[in-house]
Structure 1
Amino acid sequence: MSRGDAGDFPHARLMGVAFDSFDAEREEITLRFNAPDSFRTPRGFVQGGLVAGFLDEVMGWAHVWATDHEEAPLNLEIAMSLLKPVPIGPLVAKGRVIRRGKRVIFLEGELFDEAGTLLARSTSTAIPTPRPTGD
C-alpha cells in the first residue's frame, strides 16, 4: 500500500489491516484484518468496540479511495449490528460509499469471516474533509 494507506498507521497495524482491492465503479474497498489475540474477550471473541473499529476503518478507506486520497470522512454517527460472534484471526471487510454530497456522506461496511459468513454490519454518516497527512 502507498500514499499513507490503511496499513501505514499504528492503529491499523494493531488491527492487522491489509489492503485487498478497490472497485472504483462501485466505490467499494476490501480490506483484510487479522484480529489479534489481545482483542479476545472472556467469551473468546473480538470485543464489540474493536469490531466497530474494523468497520469504521473500512468505511473510512472507502471514501478515501473514492476521492483519490483527497478526502477523509469525519464521522457524525456510526451504527453497528453484530450478527454473529467475531472470531480472533483473519477477517475480511468491505466498505462502500452509498451517497456522497458536498456536506455529508453516507457509508456502509460489512465484516466477514474467511468463509464469507457475514458477522457485522455498519453505517456511517460523515462530513467530507480534506485528508490529513498524519505527519
Structure 2
Amino acid sequence: MSGVQIPPPRPLNDMKDFLKEMLGNPSGINKFLNLQYQSSKDEEHYFSVTFDESSMNPRGFVQGGMITAALDQASSMAFIGDNNGTAAPLTTDLHVLFHRSLPLGEAKITVKFIKIGRQIATMEARIFDENDKLVATLMHTAVNFAIPKQED
C-alpha cells in the first residue's frame, strides 16, 4: 500500500455538488437502486433509495442482499465524494446487522465516517423505513484506493 496518496477531503459544499453531479444522471447500480444524494450535515451524509418488485424476497419485503448493496453503494459514494473523486473504497469487509424487514418503496440512508485513515477507511451506513425506523446497520471497512486520472 505504500505510495498511495489520498487527497485532503473536499469542502462540504463541493462534496454536495460532486455527489449531485455524480448521481444526477445515474447508471449501473445507482440507476438500479435509484440512489439519490439528499444532503450532508457535518460528517453525516443523507441518501434516498427506492426498491421496486425486482428487489422483493418471497415474503414480499426487500431482500437482504439488496439492502446490503444499497448501504455499500451509499457509503462508497459518500467516500468518493469526500475525496474529490480521486479515491474510492476498495472494500475489505461489510458487516450488516438486520433489525427489521423493509417494505418495498422509498427508504432513507445515512452515512457517517467513523475513521478515514491514510490507508484504511471505516464507515457506518444505516437504512430507515418510511416511518424512520431503523432497518439495518452496515459497518464498511475499505482500503483507500487512488483512482488514476483519465487522460483526455
Task: Identify whether the pair has TM-score above 0.5, normalized to the shorter chain.
Answer: yes
Aligned residues: percent identity? 23
Query: Residue in 1 aligned with 2:56?
Result: 40
More strand by share: 1
Greater C-alpha Rg: 2
Paired residues of 1:93 and 1:110 also in contact (CA < 8 A): yes
Query: Residue in 2 aligned with 1:82?
Result: 98
Paired residues of 1:35 and 1:90 also in contact (CA < 8 A): yes
Query: Residue in 2 aligned with 1:19?
Result: 37
**Aligned counterparts of 1:16 and 1:82: Cα–Cα separation in 2:** 21
The Cα offsets for residues 64-117 of structure 1, whole Å up to 9 and x where unpaired, read as 222232211110000001100011100000112110111111111000012211
Paired residues of 2:60 and 2:103 also in contact (CA < 8 A): yes
Gaps of 5+ in 1: none
- The number of residue pairs the alignment matches comes to 131
Distance 1:124 1:8, change over 3 A: same
TM-score, normalized by length of structure 2?
Answer: 0.79
Q: Please, what is the CA RMSD of the aligned residues?
A: 1.9
Structure 1 runs of 4+ with >4 Å offset: none
